[in-house]
Structure 1
Amino acid sequence: MGHIGYALMYLGTGIAASLSHFVTDPASPMPTIGASGAIAGVMGAYAWLYPHAKVQALIPLIIIFHVIVVPAPLFLGIWFALQTYSGISAVAGGAASGVAWWAHIGGFAAGALAAIVIGRTPLGHEAVTERRF
């Protein structure tokens, strides 16, 4: 994808995230300052482009913390489901939470869509199977 391709994807998914937030709550008094929607876009692209990658996840069990290795698409899928649940709950509850849930959802979806397009162009990407830290 290269530096320019990554920058364009990052900015494009950030714009898509902002539009998602605006469409779902056009009267929101909450400013959307931050990069979480664009970061969600990078996560959506990563889940699509590297389906065999694995990530380490920290699982808190009350006072004990456990590290497990899980497939990145599973981890990101769970994250996306939590964002969607929170977004639906925020709309149903009608209370402002201070988090632009739908920006996260829209950014992630835009990133996955961008990855589908990137995967079908000469931009391509390198395969990643597993990384250990």
Structure 2
Amino acid sequence: MFPIRDHNPSGRTPYVVYTLMTLNFVAFAYYSLTYDTTAELARFYDSYALIPTEIDGTSRLSPLLTSMFMHGGFMHLAGNMLFLWIFGDNMEDEMGHLPFLLFYLASGIGAGLIHVASNPWSHVPTIGASGAVAGVMGGYLLLFPRARIDILLILVIYFRIFAIPAYLMLGVWLGMQFLGSLNSDPSQGGVAYWAHTGGFAVGFLLTIPLWLKRGGPRYWGKTHGHPPHPATKYSTSRIPQLPRKKSGRSPWSKNR
């Protein structure tokens, strides 16, 4: 189950979101095509990935930023960019271009610091925009808790798209990350759950001033947690199905 779109249109072109997505894809193409061997790629990661034990407060702080534009594979990159595309345009619309960029970077750096604090002696390189994107999701939850999110549900051979409130989708996601944080060992690699959980919290907290400026609880009372503008309506929420012939004969059967 994962989101594919929301029903929350933005009022301005999300130039920062597009730029961030482009930078992430360009960076991935660069080091994927430049470094042919695992050893070369490992040296690249050692230079630019976030390695907790090397963050000592006096040097090697740049990986807190550079690691946000590195990914471990195309699916890792595509997943993060999908979430940024769904939730980032509305946050940029509400904040403005430059404030949103600063918010995104601050969420990513905050997520990285929380990951470092969860296991400061880890030598495992950490990469990905997940912490920053989690911050965007945290801010989205505060501003638009009842915005409709279209979810693609896949159960073996059953495919269905249906809409659920943002608070439900984001709440389930955050709960999964928090449980993962409690049951993972950052020193062994894998998913950086504390970066996800921490990034979400940082983004939520950084959005509180904007929420208060909009009226705080009165803003929710006025919009009932929905976007402050008409929601997007899509023509269908079902996966297209192959038509059946009235004869009952399979459309794939061949004449013999």
* Alignment TM class, shorter chain as reference: 0.7 to 0.9
Say whether residues 1:3 and 2:97 are aligned partners: yes
Q: 1:119 to 1:81 in 2, by over 3 A?
A: same
Check 1:26–1:55 CA distance in 2 against 1; reply closer, same or farther (3 A cut).
Answer: same
**Where do 4+ consecutive residues of structure 1 move more than 6 Å?**
none
Per the TM alignment, residue 20 of structure 1 is displaced from its structure 2 partner at its CA by 0.8
* Deviation of the 1:58 alpha carbon: 0.9
How many percent of aligned residue pairs carry the same amino acid? 42
Q: Which residue of 2 aligns with 1:22?
A: 116
Which residue of structure 2 aligns with residue 113 of structure 1? 205
Q: How far apart in 1 are the matches of 2:230 and 2:155?
A: 28
1:103 is matched with which residue: 186, 190, 195?
195
Output the CA distance in 2 between the equivalents of 1:66 and 1:82.
Answer: 22
What's 1:127 paired with?
A: 228
* Unmatched 5+ stretches in structure 2: 1-94, 220-226, 235-256
Partner of residue 174, structure 2: 80
Q: Matches of 1:131 and 1:44 in 2, distance apart?
A: 22
Deviation sequence 1:33-74 (CA, Å, 0-9, x none): 221100000001001111220100011112211111000111
Provide, for residues 65-102 of structure 1, a one-character-per-residue CA deviation record: whole Å limited to 9, x for no partner.
Answer: 111100011100000001111111104xx772421110
- Aligned Cα root-mean-square deviation (Å): 2.2
Deviation per CA, 1:9-44: give whole Å up to 9, x if none. Answer: 101101110011011111122212221100000001
Alpha-carbon offset, residue 128 of structure 1: 5.2
User: Which position in structure 2 is the counterpart of 1:42?
Assistant: 136
SS at match of 1:90: coil
Q: Across the two proteins, how many residue pairs are aligned to each other? A: 130
Given the two structures, how large is their TM-score scaled by the length of structure 2? 0.47
The amino acid of 2:191's aligned partner reads V
Deviation at 1:132, TM superposition (A): 4.1
| Bigger Rg, which one | 2
Q: Contact 2:150/2:161 (CA < 8 Å) preserved in 1?
A: yes
Normalised by the size of structure 1, how large is the TM-score? Answer: 0.87
Pairing 1:51-90 to 2, within 5 Å after superposition? 51-90=145-184
**Which structure's relative contact order is higher, taking Cα pairs within 8 Å and 6+ residues apart?**
1
Give the superposition deviation at 1:120.
Answer: 2.0
Is the contact between residue 111 and residue 195 of structure 2 (CA under 8 Å) also seen in structure 1?
yes
Segments of 5+ residues of structure 1 without an aligned counterpart are none
